[in-house]
Amino acid sequence: MTEAAETFTAISPQDFANWGEGTFAYVKPMRSEEARRLFPQAASIRPGLKLFALVAANGAPIMLADSKDAVMQSAWDHELHTMSLH
């Protein structure tokens, strides 16, 4: 039996953060209290709500909604592949 050698190339933290930009986005469930930190420009949001954020591969917030279907549709509309964050 032979073992295949794997080679890994180091990338910078900035390149890693930008990997998948414009291609991948994350669907992140969150409470409204956390949403205020990610979306400071959002109007006052009642505490205790369950929300969903669509976040770019580099962590930049894209949209916030009260349903997973809405953020999934937005990703689809912008041709983004989605992954879930828990």
pLDDT (0 to 100) of residue 22: 66
Cut 0.75: pTM above it: no
Look at residue 11 and tell me whether its pLDDT is greater than 90.
Answer: no
Tell me the Cα Rg of the chain. 17
| End-to-end CA separation in angstroms for the chain | 39
pLDDT (0 to 100) of residue 65: 95
User: How confident is the model over 12-46, as pLDDT tens digits?
Assistant: 777 766 666 667 899 999 999 888 888 888 878 88
Question: Where are the extended beta strands (E) located within 3-85?
Answer: 24-31, 50-56, 61-65, 81-84
The mean pLDDT of the chain is 84
